Amino acid sequence: MANSPADHRAAQQRELRILAVALVLAMSTWFSTAAVLGQLREQWSLSNAQASWLTIVVQLGFVVGAAFSSLTNMADRIPPRRLVWIGSAGAALANAGVVLADSFGPAVVARFVTGAFLAFVYPPALKAMSSWYRTGRGFALGVMIGALTIGSALPHLVNSIGGLGWRTTLLIASGLTVAGGLIADRFATDGPYTSKAAPFDASQIGAIIRNREFRLASLGYFGHMWELYAMWAWIAAFYRDVFESPRVASLAAFAVIASGAAGSVYAGKLSDEYGRGDAAALAMRWSASVAVVMGFLLDAPWPIVFGIGLVWGFWVVADSAQFSTIVTETSDARYVGTALTMQLAAGFVLTVFTIFLVPVIRDAHGWGWAFLLLAPGPIIGAFAMRALRLGPKTVAEPEPEIYVSPFF
């Protein structure tokens, strides 16, 4: 443990870098099949519904894995860094199984298992980072969500490299995921605010749900999730209708999704200065506004379509860290991992509906109406954040050196 404030700050920054790099790499299997969906459609003669299921089943797997973790308090009984390694290794092997399967049916099973193991990566990584911060936690978790965002976008970047087949892209993603888990397990350390391993206590689930701040933060998170993963899942397909080159479409999708890393860090700083609810609501107002117009710009000049996409990518995930931060600050410290996992599991259930509906509405009415479907989620979430702001204060005083303008 650090012996002085300067030592503590240096240790915080070191751990933030290590865990952020680990999460970038570990989450690269999430959208690995979405990045090569065009190739898989041709290889396996996929229908629109089958293409959707390759992403939806990852969400369902995550929900099952997260529910298991919550019901068993696993996230609070196993050291989070070790759990990240277990989840990364399992997700990497399952994702590589898609290559061995080389057909739709077995690939769906492999992707389900991938999602289940990723539930042991994302929430524990947030808990591990929270053990290093009491003040400035919004910024720290914003960096972590930014890392997750870049990791989710990585397969699109890999796929934009000419000459790589879908099998190579998936295997590279699996290799990156293993590397991320190893980095977290071998190089990260426990923070000074780490709570002792908690005993199994089923009653904690009810106590968590009765927490007003948890309920409002979760409502905001649900609205956020209604939009986020459908946007991430289908933005590459949208840009394939904008650009003639599939490689350029993949590169555009990577840039748009990865821009959310900057948005997450910005909103994290903003929340430390002005409050979690206000920062999250600002992001949701912006993302909802872009969702309303984005799809109707399909025939506009490509620089406009790409530029508006970058704005959407920046804001669509910027609010994500704040919901997790609120949970870490208002829940029983012994069961923070369980509370985070409960929130995430419920939110990921919602993503199934919009991931499925976007291509259905696109085929019937076009991209404009398909993306418009996503706007009500962040609008509802913004109202939940307003209710949270009017309640008891839920954020610690910010670290004095953190300052950011409230204007974008």
- Summarised one tens digit per residue, pLDDT across range 92-121 is 999 999 998 888 999 999 999 999 999 899
Pull the structure tokens for residue 90.
Answer: 């399992």
Q: Measured between alpha carbons, how far is residue 240 from residues 23, 294, 302 in Å? A: 28, 15, 12
How far apart (Å, rounded) are the C-alpha atoms in residues 40 and 29?
Answer: 16
- What pLDDT score does 399 carry? 39
Identify the sign of the CA torsion 204, 210, 216, 218: positive
- What pLDDT score does 212 carry? 81
Q: Between 246-274 and 137-159, two packed helices, what is the crossing angle to 10 degrees? A: 180
Q: What is the pLDDT of residues 250-291, one digit of tens each?
A: 999 999 999 999 999 999 889 888 888 899 999 999 999 999
The 3-class secondary structure across the chain, one letter per residue, is CCCCHHHHHHHHHHHHHHHHHHHHHHHHHCCHHHHCHHHHHHHHCCCHHHHHHHHHHHHHHHHHHHHHHHHCCHHHHCCHHHHHHHHHHHHHHHHHHHHHHCCHHHHHHHHHHHHHHHCCCHHHHHHHHHCCCCCCHHHHHHHHHHHHHHHHHHHHHHHCCCCCCHHHHHHHHHHHHHHHHHHHHHHCCCCCCCCCCCCCCCHHHHHHHCCHHHHHHHHHHHHHHHHHHHHHHHHHHHHHCCCCCHHHHHHHHHHHHHHHHHHHHHHHHHHHHHCHHHHHHHHHHHHHHHHHHHHHHCCCCHHHHHHHHHHHHHHHCCCHHHHHHHHHHHCCHHHHHHHHHHHHHHHHHHHHHHHHHHHHHHHHHCHHHHHHCCCHHHHHHHHHHHHHHCCCCCCCCCCCCCCCCCCC
- What pLDDT score does 162 carry? 67
Q: What is the pLDDT of residues 217-255, one digit of tens each?
A: 888 999 999 999 999 999 999 999 999 888 899 999 999
Q: Between 122-130 and 80-101, two packed helices, what is the crossing angle to 10 degrees? A: 160
Q: Measured between alpha carbons, how far is residue 138 from residues 144, 229, 265, 359 in Å? A: 10, 22, 9, 34
How far apart (Å, rounded) are the C-alpha atoms in residues 240 and 293?
Answer: 18
How far apart (Å, rounded) are the C-alpha atoms in residues 330 and 212?
Answer: 9
Domains in the chain (CATH in brackets) are 5-188+208-389 (1.20.1250.20)
Pull the structure tokens for residue 210.
Answer: 């009765």
Q: Which segments of the chain have a pLDDT < 50?
A: 1-2, 392-408
